[in-house]
Amino acid sequence: AKVVPTVFSWVPVMGNAVEFGKDPIQFLKSCQKKYGDVFTFQLVNKKVTACLGPDGNQFVFNARQNVASAAAAYNDMTKYVFGRDIVFDTQHSIFMEQKRFIKSGLSIDTFRKDVPLILEECNLFLDKMEPKGQVDAYHMFGALIINTASRTLLGPEVRNALDDGVAQLYYDLDQGFRPINFMFPNLPLPAYRKRDVAREKLATLYSQIIEGRRNNPDNVQEDLLQTLMDSRYKDGSGIPDAQICGILTAALFGGQHTSSTTSAWAILELAHRPDIVTALRQEMIEKLGSLKAEFTYDNLEELPLLENIVRETLRLHPPIFNMMRRVVVDEMVYEKNGLVIPKGNYICAAPGVTQIDETYFNNPMKWNPYRWSEKTDPVHALEQGEDANIDYGFGAVGISSRSPFLPFGAGRHRCIGEKFGYLQLKAVIGTFVKRFDFEGVTEHVPKPDYTSMVVVPENSNIRFTRRD
Ligand code: HEM
């Protein structure tokens, strides 16, 4: 058996964690040069086998769950944040049912009703901003998106409770979701205790809301909460309230940081490209009649530049740039070169690396939304793999896990929130661009900071002036 090359480390206990922590993309790229696409490195107490390139993406995303498991990789951490018996803390087949429940709550009919709610939340929030000033875009969009996401996914009751301290509970829960928690999921420290208290308090709040809806049949809502209350497992049983609470928290987490960072990055990139801001406003005027026209689900579909701004931001600044599984069989063989990965190792795909590889994207470090409409990049010429025809029931058919562009992952664990994510991002970014002029405070777009679970800008300040 051929052994996977191991990255050398000077530091005995930490292994490569310091270098990886500082700039994982650079670390992975420089190891790739030295060792090829497949190599093992040490993250404190974990051995991680990176599987890079489109072949690596395919290897990791197509792995069977009883060979390389996402639950075995993530549950040590997620069970403390989301709660028990859901997502990775249950049998794979049960999670797949739960995933389909969430997916069924994210239908086009629901989206049509969501858009006015998202716009109302955006406008309420933006109305309160000063006519002129400076703001941290990541914090601003974080605060806004918790409103839009909880209003649409969790419903009006949770949204109304946000202003009374519930936002702080999400913040405390969040502190259990940092890279450090991947290495040390549970420690007797105040932050971990706060996380647990916040999870319990949220569960109590959600349970009260569920009770309230059950006792008041006139309260008819069409949100994810209601979908889950009305869903049935294949064996005919309803979803227990405690599980509904956990699934709601997981869904909110799935959409919250990913969308806040993506909108912040998009606005920071646009802040340095006034020509694209002008072109985007022009597109809105041409397609919608004027900048005053309200967005709807349907007219947001007719704004290709806005869509490509989101897509290009996800390429260059993917909020989740690597995804892990854990080997649960004695040995897993990387077929392409016969390398053997032992039980207990994590395998790691890094679309964040293929997405800036010049083999697939011309001038890859340049943020250029037009590359998607010009279709000049080699990525457009890639044939779809056979695995693109597998239907996992999440609407991911047609997406090969061998693609170099996978900001939503691939295969059985692929994101079910892509459509909702795009919709929310287009509405939020579009509304901000309509209502504000803005510019960066630094000469160049800021560098990424990798110390939080999603990749955030190092400095996300912008100067803004109200246009209306
Ligand atoms: C899975 C990214 C929005 C719910 C994933 C994965 C990625 C991702 C990369 C795959 C993880 C893996 O393979 O290990 C994103 C991005 C988003 C976004 C970039 C927004 C821009 C959302 C939203 C929701 C959501 C809005 C919920 C409403 C989920 C769920 C999974 C998932 C349930 C499945 C996890 C699994 O099967 O293991 N997402 N997501 N995501 N996401 Fe998203």
CA gap 15, 43 in Å, rounded: 6
Taking residues 447-467, report their average pLDDT.
Answer: 89
- Residue closest by Cα to atom 5 of ligand 1: 415
Model pTM above 0.80: yes
CA gap 359, 339 in Å, rounded: 24
Work out the percent of the chain whose per-residue pLDDT is above 70: 99
Count other C-beta atoms under 10 Å from residue 130's C-beta: 10
On the CB side of 78, CA atoms within 13 Å amount to: 19
Quick one: pLDDT at residue 278? Answer: 98
User: How many Å separate Cα 268 from the centre of its chain?
Assistant: 18
Q: Which of 408, 422, 428, 455 best tests ligand 1's pocket when mutated (most atoms within 8 Å of CB)?
A: 408
Q: What is the pLDDT of residues 199-231, one digit of tens each?
A: 999 999 999 999 999 999 888 888 899 999 999
- Residue closest by Cα to atom 32 of ligand 1: 415
Count other C-beta atoms under 10 Å from residue 92's C-beta: 15
Quick one: pLDDT at residue 221? Answer: 85
Residues contacting 385, CB < 8 A, separation 6+: 58, 400, 401, 402, 403
Q: What is the pLDDT of residues 345-362, one digit of tens each?
A: 999 999 999 999 999 999
Q: What is the pLDDT of residues 242-287, one digit of tens each?
A: 999 999 999 988 888 899 999 999 999 999 999 999 999 999 999 9
Quick one: pLDDT at residue 1? Answer: 75
The ipTM estimated for the assembled molecules is 0.99
Instruction: Determine the distance separating the centroid of ligand 1 and the alpha carbon of 358, expressed in angstroms.
Output: 26
As for ligand 1, residues whose beta carbon falls within 6 Å of it are: 70, 99, 102, 153, 251, 254-255, 258-259, 262, 319-320, 323, 407-409, 413, 415-417, 420-421
Cβ contact 256:167 at 8 Å: no
User: Amino acid identity, residue 87?
Assistant: V
* 3-state secondary structure (DSSP) of residue 152: helix
Q: Considering the chain, what is the average pLDDT of its residues?
A: 91
Least confident of 15-24, 122-131, 393-402: 393-402
CA gap 76, 81 in Å, rounded: 10
DSSP string, 259-323: HHHHHHHHHHHHHT-HHHHHHHHHHHHHHHSSTTSPP-HHHHTT-HHHHHHHHHHHHHS-SS--E
Taking residues 223-242, report their average pLDDT.
Answer: 93
Instruction: Determine the distance separating the centroid of ligand 1 and the alpha carbon of 463, expressed in angstroms.
Output: 31
pLDDT at residue 298 above 70?
Answer: yes
- Residue closest by Cα to atom 37 of ligand 1: 413
CA gap 458, 365 in Å, rounded: 17
Which of the pair, 399 or 269, is modelled with greater confidence? 269
CA-closest candidate to residue 420, choices 395, 456, 387:
395
In a 10 Å sphere around its CB, with 0-12 CB exposed, 13-18 middle and 19+ buried, how is residue 450 labelled?
buried
Instruction: Determine the distance separating the centroid of ligand 1 and the alpha carbon of 468, expressed in angstroms.
Output: 35
